Amino acid sequence: MPFIANTDADRAEMLAAVGLERIEDLFRDVPEQHRYATLDLPEPLSELEVMREVTALAGENDHLGELASFLGAGAYRHFIPSVVDFLAGRSEFYSAYTPYQPEVSQGTLQAIFEYQSMISALTGMDAANASHYDGATATAEAVIMALNSVKGPRKRVVLSPALNPQYREVVHTYTQGMGLDIVGGDLEDHDFHTLLELVDKDTACVVVQNPDFLGQLHSSAEMQDLADAVHAAGALLAVSVDPLSLGLFTPPGEYGVDIVMGEGQSLGNGLNFGGPYLGFFAMRSADVRKSAGRIAGETVDVDGQTGYVLTLSTREQHIRRGRATSNICTNQALMALRACIYLAAMGKHGLKSVAEQCYHKAQYAATLISMIPGYQIVGKKPFFKEFVVRCPVPVSVVKDFLLLEWGIVAGYDLTEDYPELGECLLICVTEMNTRQEIDDLAEALAAVAEMAEEMELELEELR
């Protein structure tokens, strides 16, 4: 039977302390007729019957095992080697939580250390942590870190309008009440030079994305120029990146970036209906102590054997609250473990192969779509795996038609986030998309355009 430590005397004392006589008085705000309502529940079922019913309900859902998907915008469908599920599902890892006691947490600590080492190597940065929920919170933590790292009390934060809109929203939510001047997100001009016009002596950091939310890939020379200009103003540069793009392109650490962060979902983690995800975060050595969360390190024990410890933990639970850099409550260890296994299994050649497939398939798709009358590829810069298409009819019509008639998830509707672009669709192509799927996408888009043209002709005749 359950053990309840409170005696009747204890309960009476606690009720007296809050000025009440009965436990029921604690619930007086709940209408009495609803306190012990009789629930109209069906008769109990056996496990077999429940499984049949749940399976039938699940069968009514559409899923990406059946549909061709070109949806990205921060959450990506990539191939996950079976070794990731197999190793991450082992009970030693699957049931582990926080490595408070290193003597019984060596496996978890080593996995975190290996993950951090791989992220550092991938981004070209000095160090990395393992403590963020997703790319959005990692971005918000980058802003907090910059505020704590720059000299003097600086209150301005410059966000690129081509930074993921959800990341920008989380930055605003995360920093509300701090009196910050957050600018740049509402600019209709996505050029870096326009951003720099907003940088002044009160600026703590500039946050951009590369490849950006609209798919545009900015060259290392452009990024170096941006970093130099930001540093000249005494601010820090934080860049959100697609980790798989680094299998093919110059790592941010080589063009002067101070903080690198992003969404690690594509590294061995499924779409999972939106989570749990993984925010990766890398930095310069000089700023390590301003980093949120925790960092695992390698050392030796009294016998000279290799061991792993929690080197740095700047969370308020572990140190004085006034000195804490964050209230991040977990290190997303299981998601980081999956990323670690994925990176180890793929290796640098495997990552390069995935990146090349994404790049070339996206170029092929864009070329096909650009030849369809009525469609236009937006932007003159190169892109990695996402690109913007301006449509001849409302994006909602395109998406509905492709889904219902072709079984294709067409992409992400940009009309709410970037109304200045017009009726635009963000299309993502990964190694998971076959040539036939891309050809079908082009054919389906052409069918929408033809249908729209016929409807326009009919309207003209009626006029």
* Per-residue pLDDT tens over the stretch 98-138: 777 788 889 889 999 999 999 999 999 999 998 789 999 99
| CA–CA gap between residue 405 and residue 407 (Å, rounded) | 6
Instruction: Give me 433's structure tokens.
Output: 């998309």
Backbone angles phi, psi at 383, to 5 degrees: -140, 165
* Cross-strand bridge partners of residue 389: 377, 425
pLDDT at position 458: 53
Q: Report the DSSP pairing between strands 259-263 and 279-283.
A: antiparallel
| CA–CA gap between residue 196 and residue 194 (Å, rounded) | 5
The answer to which of 197-201, 262-266, 311-315 has the lowest mean pLDDT is 311-315
Please count the helices (runs of H) and the strands (runs of E) in the chain: 12, 15
pLDDT at position 94: 78
| CA–CA gap between residue 241 and residue 300 (Å, rounded) | 34
pLDDT at position 394: 93
Q: Over pLDDT 90: what percentage of the chain? A: 72
pLDDT at position 275: 87
SS3 129: strand
Q: Is residue 242 over pLDDT 60?
A: yes
Mean pLDDT of 63-90: 95
- HSE-up of residue 62 (Cα within 13 Å, Cβ side): 9
Q: Is residue 407 over pLDDT 90?
A: yes
How would residue 319 be classed by pLDDT, with cut points 50, 70 and 90? low
Structural element, H or E, at residue 157: strand 156-159
* Per-residue pLDDT tens over the stretch 248-301: 999 999 999 999 999 999 999 999 988 899 999 999 999 998 888 788 999 998
Q: Is residue 430 over pLDDT 80?
A: yes
Mean pLDDT of 42-48: 94
List the CATH code of the domain at 82-344.
3.40.640.10
Q: Is residue 462 over pLDDT 60?
A: no
pLDDT at position 202: 96
State the pTM of this model: 0.87
How would residue 95 be classed by pLDDT, with cut points 50, 70 and 90? confident
pLDDT at position 463: 47
pLDDT at position 346: 97
Mean pLDDT of 307-320: 71
Return all residues near 274 (Cβ < 8 A) that are at least 6 apart: 75
Q: Which of 62, 80, 59 is nearest to 71 (CA)?
A: 62
Return all residues near 386 (Cβ < 8 A) that are at least 6 apart: 72, 73, 211, 214, 215, 362, 426, 427, 428, 429
> CATH classification of 68-74+348-462 is 3.90.1150.10, yes or no?
yes
Label residue 373 exposed, middle or buried (CB < 10 Å: 0-12, 13-18, 19+).
Answer: exposed
* Per-residue pLDDT tens over the stretch 145-171: 999 999 888 999 999 999 999 999 999
SS3 378: strand
| CA–CA gap between residue 113 and residue 451 (Å, rounded) | 56
Q: Is residue 69 over pLDDT 90?
A: yes
CB 240 within 8 A of CB 208: yes
> Structural domain boundaries of the chain?
68-74+348-462, 82-344
pLDDT at position 331: 64
Instruction: Give me 142's structure tokens.
Output: 């980058």
The answer to which of 39-48, 93-102, 208-217, 271-280 has the lowest mean pLDDT is 93-102
Mean pLDDT of 372-386: 95
